[in-house]
Amino acid sequence: MEKALLLLKKYFGYDSFRIGQTELIEAILQGSDCLGIMPTGSGKSICYQIPALILGGTTLVISPLISLMKDQVDNLNEMGIPATFINSSLSNHDYMQTLENASLGMYQIIYVAPERLNSESFLRLLSSIEIPLIAIDEAHCVSQWGHDFRPSYVEIASMIEKLKTRPIVAAFTATATKMVATDIISSLKLSTPFTLTTGFDRENLSFHVVHSKNKMHDLTSYLRKFSGNSGIIYCSTRKNVDLLYQELSKLGFSVSKYHAGMGDSYKAASQNDFVYDRTTIMIATNAFGMGIDKSNVRFVIHFNMPKDLESYYQEAGRAGRDGLPSECILLFSRSDIVTNQFIISQGNSEIDHSIEYKKLNDMIDYCNTDKCLRKYILEYFGELPTFSVCENCSNCNSDIEVTDITEDAQKIMSCIKRMGNRFGTNLVTDVLKGSKSSKVQSLGFYNLPTYGLLKDYSRDTIKELISFLVAEGYIVCIGKQYPVLVLDARANEVLFGNKTITMKRKIEKEVSPKETTLSNTPFDSSLFENLRILRKELAKKNHVPPFVIFTDATLTQMATLYPTTEAEFLSISGVGAVKFERYGKEFMNCICSYLQEKS
């Protein structure tokens, strides 16, 4: 580990390892298979990159997306570590050249797409080189219980068995329930792995759920507040991506778009514009972003509710990878539920989708809970947080208006009971609203004593009340594609006992970008902007994304400590010897010039 620390400082510019990194690196160096479950931004890649430098030979990193590979390889090469990638973006000539270079031992780390693992030419390469370690990134993709299952990941274990000497196998993911973690170990055939979960909490992220009546209005309002900052807007459909791209472009926002229906060259150009800071906002479906290494994403807005919490937390977690304060905003409406039910129903008809519908209900509960959002997420992933209020989410930070809804709850529960616990939210709402729809008429529900009891309420308000009672456990949704409402035993306490139900309604405060700080120390924003301009110029000159040169967190520390000597500059977190040699002089000159002008 002494050597590991020296390499960490030399190449990555850090003086110490983060939580979990030491234990995982030690386990790998001792020859143990590993499973590391660590939140986005916690430094999973260092857990296999440092061992790759110590073990010798060529480490393989299996990764699902081209974007991750390119970002990681750019970063490693900038630090002076020879690395490359093998995926579908390479021409046949470049692919063969890369294989030849790899056979000559020119790379310490090779990133490879799982689809390439069983090609004959690649297997020939594997038989000719020493492979001490195989790292599997986004390992949840191997599990059918995960949120982003990739069939090609299932072939990883068989590929490893074909190697003449079995390497150490280390799997990493940011989001995995206990069921998914067990499936990863089994599917990858990890041998008595050292398993470490460092926790799922991302303290620098602020979570907000906004019950939006006009999403476009709310979205543009937030974007204006975040002006000049990089962010991602996620949509559930390609159609929404295209519509938002058109509307936001007309309004003058600097936007790119990305979805699976676009051509490869268009997607690559769009992604590069965002990664290289030529545009500030990416509008995308979940086809974009897994493994995106862009560290300066200051906000993630979900225009539509995702279909499960794993997807949501993975996507929201692309904000604030550099550890600086960032915002995660979910614009929720009832129509999102219908869209996600349809998406699930269009899946493979031979597969049981009951777990997907259960996950969707958990996501709906998250959007309707009045409890701490961060606590809800952590408990979902099996953690027991020590706090009940995080003071960094919309539920904790909103003014709360407490309303007694016992009478309304009794009317809803009574209606469900009189309808035989056999119908879904829409029909129950129709009956309570006093609808004259053909279905209400044909079933004779207009004769029920609960018919029209909430006729003065809007349909959305009735549905909101039902969702709240579901989230609180008084009503249970049973069924797959078309869930029905069934009273839980707890409902009897409200119907026949003296149980009072209160509903906390948020008086939501405006979401504004939090001031970027380092250890709560205000930085010099004018110097930060000068450094950011210099970084962009150097990035353009060297054909790499700006964050590959230095992250926002590193620039922030420079704009706090004003380093003007080599020793001072090397003490900045994220400045290693190689990067100092390449860029240190220009950044120190920038700081010195700024200080002279200021004096």
Highest mean pLDDT, choosing among 338-347, 360-369, 493-502, 585-594: 585-594
Q: CB of 110 within 8 A of CB of 99?
A: no
**pLDDT reading at 217 higher than 50:** yes
Q: What percent of the chain has pLDDT over 70?
A: 95
pLDDT of residue 321: 86
- The CATH class for the domain spanning 403-507 reads mainly alpha
pLDDT of residue 480: 62
pLDDT of residue 314: 85
Cα pseudo-dihedral 474, 479, 485, 488, rounded to 10: -30
- Low-confidence winner among 155-159, 499-503, 529-533 (lowest mean pLDDT): 499-503
- Which residues pair with residue 61 across a beta bridge? 111, 135
Q: CB of 368 within 8 A of CB of 471?
A: yes
0.85 exceeded by pTM: no
Query: Do 2-197 and 205-398 fold alike per CATH?
Result: yes
Report pLDDT digits (tens) over 86-137: 988 888 899 999 999 999 999 999 999 888 888 888 888 998 999 999 999 9
Query: What is the arithmetic mean of pLDDT over 401-428?
Result: 92
**pLDDT reading at 294 higher than 60:** yes
> 536 pLDDT band (50/70/90 cuts)?
very high
Q: For the domain 525-598, what is the CATH code?
A: 1.10.150.80
Q: Identify the CATH assignment for 2-197 out of 3.40.50.300, 3.30.750.24, 3.20.20.10, 1.25.50.10.
A: 3.40.50.300
pLDDT of residue 221: 93
* CB proximity list for 176: less than 8 A, separation 6 or greater: 37, 139, 140, 143, 146, 184, 381
Helix (H, G, I), strand (E, B) or coil at 138: coil
Domain ranges for the chain, please list them.
Answer: 2-197, 205-398, 403-507, 525-598
Q: For the domain 205-398, what is the CATH code?
A: 3.40.50.300
Q: Give the residue from 519, 475, 481, 480 showing the smallest Cα distance to 494.
A: 475
State how far the Cα of 380 lies from the Cα of 340, in Å rounded to an integer. 20
